[in-house]
Amino acid sequence: MLKVIFDTDPGVDDAMALLYLHRHPGIDLVGVTTVFGNAPIEITTRNAQYLHQQWKIEAPIAGGAGRAYDDGRDAAHFAPVVHGEDGLGNIGVPLDVDHPLDERSATQFIIDTVRADPGNVTLVAVGRMTNLALALKADPQIASLVKEVVIMGGAFDVNGNVTPAAEANIHGDPEAADVVFTAPWKVTIIGLDVTLKTTMSSDYLAKMVEAGPSELKLLSDLSQYYIDFYRQRVGLDGMALHDSCACVYLTEPHLFEVRTGPVRVVCGGLADGKTIQAPDQVRKYVGSAWDGVPSQVVCTGIQPEAVLE
Ligand code: BDR
Ligand code: CA
């Protein structure tokens, strides 16, 4: 079984990804850590508690960062237009959710869990990379103890979704993402290049709800607002399964095409949050910004129908 810590900012597509990890027979969800992003940290953490309560998920939840890695950065911008004011499609999540939280911070939870099982824990991060960067800062040695890091974020050969240059998870904390991508561990990055090609229509979702387990009723309810956003604002007949793509990659990597090379993030200016990969085969660039940066894996192609299935 693949042991996974899921670092998330629920978030509608985060909710689907959480259910996928919970129900997948080959995945052992050993913990969930929350981060600010789609909504403030109090809300994303409460949403994780709510989803655990409703779906009877037993993995511990540790609350994480509520602001950016770099103190000077104003990162208090959320996504109510995409995910609703409550982060879960305005379904009316109760203000108090009776579900326990781990006593540790997300950072400490990640460090402890990785150290307890060296080489066997995969980190899947589908929000801002703040918790991962803070864990690396507090305990740099975890880089060699983690099995793999899989993240949803970035836009390499396509435009971003917050600015023409930047995707939301990176734009929300570029310094943290740059720390994560340049650390000596294996990172696989699943960005808008592939996630925007993988959409689920409302018909598909309705058929799934009819045929599938009862958990899908809540997933369908909270997805309606997000589906409307994609229809009205993006012009897509279906919702993008951003975070689920990263989770499918864990057990079905053959459904993705990849490219390797060092990755860095633009921090500041017009292209703030832009992800750039220097392909390995053209390692001829001058300048210390790329010297010694390890190669990472960027997904450039996907088989959407198979991933959807
Ligand atoms: C990413 O940003 C968030 O809105 C989604 O949950 C996803 O992780 C897509 O850009
Ligand atoms: Ca997310």
Q: Could you read off the pLDDT of 118-140 as tens digits, one per residue?
A: 999 999 999 999 999 999 999 99
**Distance in angstroms between the alpha carbons of the first and the last residue of the chain:** 21
Contact 251, 28 (CB under 8 A): no
Q: How far apart are CA 152 and CA 250, in angstroms?
A: 12
Query: Greatest CA span in the chain, whole angstroms?
Result: 57
Just list the catalytic residues: 9, 242
9 alpha carbon – ligand 2 mean position (Å): 5
Q: Omega into 11 within 30° of 0, i.e. cis?
A: yes
| pLDDT average, residue stretch 54-61 | 98
Q: Indicate if the pLDDT at residue 280 is higher than 90.
A: no
pLDDT at 282: 56
How many CB atoms neighbour CB 153 within 10 A?
A: 31
pLDDT band at 286 (very low <50, low <70, confident <90, very high): low
* Six-digit token string for 237: 């007949």
CA dihedral 4, 88, 196, 63 (to 10 degrees): -30
281 alpha carbon – ligand 2 mean position (Å): 32
Q: How far apart are CA 261 and CA 207, in angstroms?
A: 40
User: What sign has the CA pseudo-torsion 255, 258, 264, 266?
Assistant: negative
- Cα separation values, 267 from 132, 161, 172, Å: 17, 17, 11
Q: For residue 161, which atom of ligand 1 is closest to its CA?
A: 10
| pLDDT average, residue stretch 220-234 | 94
- Substitution candidate for ligand 1 out of 12, 126, 163 with most atoms within 8 A of CB: 126
Q: How far apart are CA 293 and CA 308, in angstroms?
A: 34
pLDDT at 284: 67
Q: Could you read off the pLDDT of 81-111 as tens digits, one per residue?
A: 888 989 999 999 988 899 999 999 999 999 9
* Six-digit token string for 302: 């996907």
pLDDT band at 212 (very low <50, low <70, confident <90, very high): confident
Q: How far apart are CA 239 and CA 214, in angstroms?
A: 21
Q: Indicate if the pLDDT at residue 285 is higher than 80.
A: no
Contact 111, 135 (CB under 8 A): yes
Q: Which ligand is nearest to the CA of 83?
A: 1
Q: For residue 79, which atom of ligand 1 is closest to its CA?
A: 4
pLDDT at 76: 78
pLDDT band at 283 (very low <50, low <70, confident <90, very high): low
Helix (H, G, I), strand (E, B) or coil at 128: coil
* Six-digit token string for 229: 């956003």
Q: Which ligand is nearest to the CA of 80?
A: 1
- Cα separation values, 156 from 243, 261, 273, 276, Å: 17, 12, 11, 6
pLDDT band at 273 (very low <50, low <70, confident <90, very high): very high
Task: Name which of 9-18, 173-182, 208-217 the model is least confident about.
Answer: 208-217
DSSP output for 269-306 = STTTT-EEE--GGG----STTTTTPPEEEEEEEE-HHH
Q: For residue 152, which atom of ligand 1 is closest to its CA?
A: 8
Candidates 220, 219, 218, 238; CA nearest to 228 is 238
127 alpha carbon – ligand 2 mean position (Å): 4
Contact 248, 22 (CB under 8 A): no
242 alpha carbon – ligand 1 mean position (Å): 6
Contact 256, 194 (CB under 8 A): yes
pTM as predicted:
0.96
Average pLDDT, the chain: 95
ipTM over 0.90 threshold: yes
DSSP 82: H
Q: Could you read off the pLDDT of 241-268 as tens digits, one per residue?
A: 999 999 999 999 999 999 999 999 999 9
- Substitution candidate for ligand 1 out of 242, 249, 275 with most atoms within 8 A of CB: 242
Give the binding-site residues of ligand 1, using a 6 Å CB cut-off.
Answer: 11, 13-14, 38, 79, 82, 126, 152, 161, 167-169, 242-243
Q: Indicate if the pLDDT at residue 57 is higher than 90.
A: yes
pLDDT band at 74 (very low <50, low <70, confident <90, very high): confident
How many CB atoms neighbour CB 76 within 10 A?
A: 11
Q: Report CA 60 to chain centroid distance, whole Å.
A: 18
